Structure 1
Amino acid sequence: MERKIGKSDWIFLLLCLLLGIVVEESFFRGEIGISYLVVILAFYTLFFWRYRGFTFSHQRFGYLVLICIWLLSVSFFLNNSTMLTALNFLVIPGMVVFHLVLITSQKSMPWNKPVFISYIFSRLIEAIKYNFIFAAILGKVFKSGVDERKYLVWKKVFIGLLISIPVLFVVLRLLMSADTQFELLIGGIPQWFEVVNAETVMRIIIVFFYTFAIFGLLQVLFKKQIKAIKQDLNVDSFKMDAIIAITVLVLINTVYLLFTVVQFKYFFSGTLQGDFTYAEYARKGFFELLFVTLINLSIIIFVLNFVDRIPVFVSKFVQIMLTVLVLVSGVMLCSAFLRLSMYEQAYGFTFIRIMSHSFMIFLVVIFMYTLVKIWIEKLSLFHFYFISSLLYYTAINIIDLEKIIVTQNIERYEQSGKIDIYHLNNMSYSGVMGLIDLYEKDQSLPGLRGILIERKQEALQDNLPWQSYNLKREQANERLKNLVLE
């Protein structure tokens, strides 16, 4: 870092301060809705202004990641899924950092190698160091023109205050516990400083935290790291003997083939032995099958990367064994899919069950590509796995999964007369609109009218700030306000 602060640095720091205020206003003033999109818009506006004229690398993949970031931020405005929203608080910032480091790195930097993870962390550490150096330079700027002795005195006083605060905190707690009168005296001290508001102080700290976090990272990334990072992990350094791998694959495939025969004989044929109902049989085996399928995928990835497949006939035999493993894994996925479908018909649809369905479809895509990779070795598994995972996660955020759950549960109610209205009520606003649809079809459903009366009262009293604006909530509240409850 240069030891001189230029005019552009001051302007950029001021803009980062404004962005820090936007972040605090958007994230810490109420439930997050459209405010997440506002923050992403403001952040990338500042980023592209600061990096105007900058030559970006990995542009095609960078645009894909950027589109996914935008779509995920839009999901806070469109949908209201509690589980995915909570997960996105970690995923989106991680993707933003990944995207920034990716497009500002050298073209030769491989993003699909483990070394890129260490590169990301090195840039984050550099950003922290930058802020410390910048603070030191800032101190020298303010120090200029000030008497050296006075400056040292105030510096020592400030250090003394920092050391004293935690000690005083503990000591005061102990003294207040020991003497009631002293506790009353100390307890009245906050009234002397009514001008100072603890919440205001915390908000100022939050603003400065985000200001310097953004400032340090973008300042560091502005200069591409010239020093190359050596890749310490050498995949070729470890190789398993092919005979060992073949032995394992033959034994595993034998068991799986036997399991497949059982599946076709009983489960897929529509007949079951024993005292199990279809729902009980489905519940008994679904998670076990899904877990075994993931183990199989891990075995395939390990063999493709770490098994020595020389000579040629050994390589071909390994490919055949891996192909069999993929095919029996496909049978397991089909069995698990059918089991879960029957369980849903018996007990209804939930977020976890629909997510499990979508994840199994995603695994089918993964296994299809892996099957191609077994026979075409030049293909990259990590490229496809990463990009497909990114697209899958973005898709389940944009698609309103809870609306699908509500629709399926209502269809099940029309066929069987069974529905859990309390489960729908515990969902987001898609569940509320499902309850309204049910009421419009059948007003005699026990307990439904009482739930909707409570929901309508909440809608009439709803006065959330602009940060919390959500399209799904607005649609549900509008329908509730117009709903006539007899």
Structure 2
Amino acid sequence: MKEQDGKSIIGVAIGTILFMELLTLGGWGIAVPIAVIIYYILILWQSKILMIKQNITTNILLIPIAMTALCFVFFDNTLLKSLNILFLYGLIVLNTSQQFGINRFEFLSFRWFLELVPIGILMPLENMGQPINVVKKEMKERSKDSNNVIFKVLIGLLIGLPIVFIATILLMNTDVAFESIITLIFEKFDFDLMWILQRIIFSIIIFFPLYGFFYGLRNKKDKTNEQKEKNKIQIFDFIIVITVTSFLCVVYMMYCLSQLTYFISAFKGILPADYTFAAYARKGFFECIPLGSINLLIIMVLTLFTKTENSKKKGNLIKGYTSYLVAFTLFLVISAFSKMWLYISAYGITIMRVYVSWFLIVGCITLLFIGIKTYYSKFKLTKNIFMVFTIMFLGLNYANIDYRIAEYDAQLYKTENVNTISAFDELSNSALEPLIKISDIDKDNTKLIIKKYENRVYGKTKWQDWNVTNYKAREILENR
């Protein structure tokens, strides 16, 4: 066994136990930043084994990684927690791949981000069997006789344990005396069979992919291929693509002219006849998403995969059509946002309306960046979109939107008698303080929802789940 393989197995085994207790069997509060710190301790250990010097100046992704991890300490929004897990995992994988030099493409380029799939998903799965191979190699290096004995004992244990477990359960069900003996043994030695089985199963699930990831870091040595990054794959014929795009642009123009009054009424604060505010906002959003997706796909085909044969005339034509599609999509997004704002003005803010509005704003910025890239080739499109997305995503977390929404809706309830109590049902424990203010006015209608908040606050008993929001909510409930 190589020394680095042995050390890596020990490190991953320790990390597996800690990650299992902190996250899998713990909670998604303060445990998350602790788990991130443990992961980077393992990474530094791995770097030391491989004699790779980590450069803090190029480790810029540690800033959003730290800020995302701390979101679990300060806030308790369930949806944002789920998105934070995905975002954090992606950042950590990309950061690690950059530090170990296994990401083949330019930092923060489009194809650099695409490496998340082969490195963060496929590599751990492909190398899951490596711990077994390492142990096998070690056994071959030892004497053959002792090798066979150890190997056969391990096989016997693996086969025998589940058979003995099933047989014991069956015998306990058929014989009271035997059941009493087994129960006495477990009580005497304080065995919790489910506790043991649970940890064995989760240890296996975590250990093998985690070791596979670390094994890949040690053995994958592909270097950056900047030339490959710059090569443009052009697979679509120019005339065919332009013909399709032309037809689509004509249809869009006819659609805009026929629906002009409908589109711009939201800008004037006017609700069209036969529409409710909710239906108007929903229609705007669901018009925007499919058409926007089609347009972005066509823009990618035009700019990345269409054969221009270095013709300036063809290049200018592609720029013109790209600008048209960007402008039309931008118009749809802004129109959808104006409809949503009209809806919010009439009925207050809910968490879903905030998410939709945030998504539309990010869409607007992305389209503007695509427009800039069309006429300024040196503009780093992917890098700038990533930076804006990261800032806005962290801003969505750190703005504590649940509390802001709750305050706004509580004020709307008190001053304008708009019934916004149902909006609190979707909010996290950050909304408890404004909800208590409403309950001072209307105890009957808020009684059930406050009870729901109480169950949520007192239901989190594990220290791994601790965060500032739940701590403050508990204080508010105790001081009522």
Q: Is the 8 A contact 1:406 1:434 kept in 2?
A: yes
Does the C-alpha gap of structure 1 residues 235 and 477 become closer, same or farther in structure 2, counting only changes over 3 Å?
Answer: same
- Equivalent positions of 1:271-420 (< 5 A) are 271=270, 274-310=273-309, 311-414=311-414, 416-420=416-420
Pairing partner for 2:18 from 7, 22, 47: 22
Deviation at 1:367, TM superposition (A): 0.5
State which drifts further: 378-387 or 422-431: 378-387
Percent identity of equivalent pairs = 23
Q: What is the distance in 2 between the residues matched to 1:190 and 1:89?
A: 42
Give the aligned partner of residue 438 of structure 2.
438
Q: What is the distance in 2 between the residues matched to 1:127 and 1:385?
A: 33
Pairing partner for 2:196 from 197, 200, 214: 200
1:478 aligns with 2:470: no
Could you tell me which amino acid in structure 2 is paired with residue 297 of structure 1? Answer: L
For the residue of structure 2 that corresponds to 1:32, the secondary structure is: coil
Residues 274-304 of structure 1, C-alpha deviation per residue, up to 9 Å, x if partnerless?
4334443333332222331232122212211
Q: What is the distance in 1 between the residues matched to 2:217 and 2:128?
A: 12
Q: What is the distance in 1 between the residues matched to 2:449 and 2:234?
A: 61
Does the C-alpha gap of structure 1 residues 282 and 20 become closer, same or farther in structure 2, counting only changes over 3 Å?
Answer: closer
Give the aligned partner of residue 469 of structure 1.
466
Task: Select the structure with the greater relative contact order (CA < 8 A; seq sep ≥ 6).
Answer: 1
Q: What is the distance in 1 between the residues matched to 2:210 and 2:353?
A: 39
Pairing partner for 1:255 from 251, 268, 271: 251
Could you tell me which amino acid in structure 1 is paired with residue 409 of structure 2? Answer: N
For the residue of structure 2 that corresponds to 1:51, the secondary structure is: helix
Q: What is the distance in 2 between the residues matched to 1:445 and 1:263?
A: 47
Does the C-alpha gap of structure 1 residues 11 and 417 become closer, same or farther in structure 2, counting only changes over 3 Å?
Answer: same
Deviation at 1:33, TM superposition (A): 1.0
TM-score scaled by length of structure 2: 0.81
Q: What is the distance in 2 between the residues matched to 1:429 and 1:32?
A: 15
Does the C-alpha gap of structure 1 residues 295 and 391 become closer, same or farther in structure 2, counting only changes over 3 Å?
Answer: farther
Pairing partner for 1:54 from 52, 55, 77: 52
For the residue of structure 2 that corresponds to 1:64, the secondary structure is: coil
Does the C-alpha gap of structure 1 residues 30 and 132 become closer, same or farther in structure 2, counting only changes over 3 Å?
Answer: closer
Could you tell me which amino acid in structure 2 is paired with residue 25 of structure 1? Answer: E
Q: Is the 8 A contact 2:90 2:120 kept in 1?
A: no
Q: What is the distance in 2 between the residues matched to 1:37 and 1:383?
A: 26
For the residue of structure 1 that corresponds to 2:377, the secondary structure is: coil
Residues 42-66 of structure 1, C-alpha deviation per residue, up to 9 Å, x if partnerless?
2213422442562458x76x63322
Give the aligned partner of residue 94 of structure 2.
98
Q: Is the 8 A contact 1:20 1:207 kept in 2?
A: yes
Give the aligned partner of residue 73 of structure 1.
69
Does the C-alpha gap of structure 1 residues 427 and 122 become closer, same or farther in structure 2, counting only changes over 3 Å?
Answer: closer
1:87 aligns with 2:86: no
Runs of 4+ in 1 over 6 A off after TM superposition: 166-173, 183-189, 227-235
Q: Is the 8 A contact 1:75 1:398 kept in 2?
A: yes
Does the C-alpha gap of structure 1 residues 292 and 170 become closer, same or farther in structure 2, counting only changes over 3 Å?
Answer: farther
Give the aligned partner of residue 238 of structure 2.
242
Deviation at 1:79, TM superposition (A): 0.5
Q: Is the 8 A contact 2:288 2:333 kept in 1?
A: yes
Could you tell me which amino acid in structure 1 is paired with residue 333 of structure 2? Answer: L
Deviation at 1:136, TM superposition (A): 2.5
- Equivalent positions of 1:154-165 (< 5 A) are 155-163=151-159
For the residue of structure 2 that corresponds to 1:128, the secondary structure is: coil
Q: What is the distance in 1 between the residues matched to 2:179 and 2:87?
A: 42
Q: What is the distance in 2 between the residues matched to 1:15 and 1:215?
A: 9
Q: What is the distance in 1 between the residues matched to 2:128 and 2:419?
A: 54
Does the C-alpha gap of structure 1 residues 438 and 444 become closer, same or farther in structure 2, counting only changes over 3 Å?
Answer: closer
Question: What do you get for the CA RMSD once the two structures are aligned?
Answer: 4.0
Q: What is the distance in 2 between the residues matched to 1:89 and 1:405?
A: 23
Q: What is the distance in 2 between the residues matched to 1:292 and 1:375?
A: 23
Residues 24-50 of structure 1, C-alpha deviation per residue, up to 9 Å, x if partnerless?
332245432111111112221342244
Does the C-alpha gap of structure 1 residues 246 and 171 become closer, same or farther in structure 2, counting only changes over 3 Å?
Answer: farther
Could you tell me which amino acid in structure 2 is paired with residue 66 of structure 1? Answer: L
Q: What is the distance in 2 between the residues matched to 1:392 and 1:380?
A: 18
Deviation at 1:480, TM superposition (A): 2.1
State which drifts further: 158-167 or 30-39: 158-167
For the residue of structure 1 that corresponds to 2:27, the secondary structure is: coil
Does the C-alpha gap of structure 1 residues 109 and 314 become closer, same or farther in structure 2, counting only changes over 3 Å?
Answer: closer
Q: What is the distance in 1 between the residues matched to 2:103 and 2:426?
A: 49
- Equivalent positions of 1:201-220 (< 5 A) are 201-203=197-199, 206-207=202-203, 210=206, 214=210, 217-218=213-214, 220=216
Does the C-alpha gap of structure 1 residues 282 and 86 become closer, same or farther in structure 2, counting only changes over 3 Å?
Answer: closer
State which drifts further: 450-459 or 246-255: 450-459
Q: What is the distance in 2 between the residues matched to 1:126 and 1:243?
A: 43
Q: Is the 8 A contact 2:124 2:211 kept in 1?
A: no
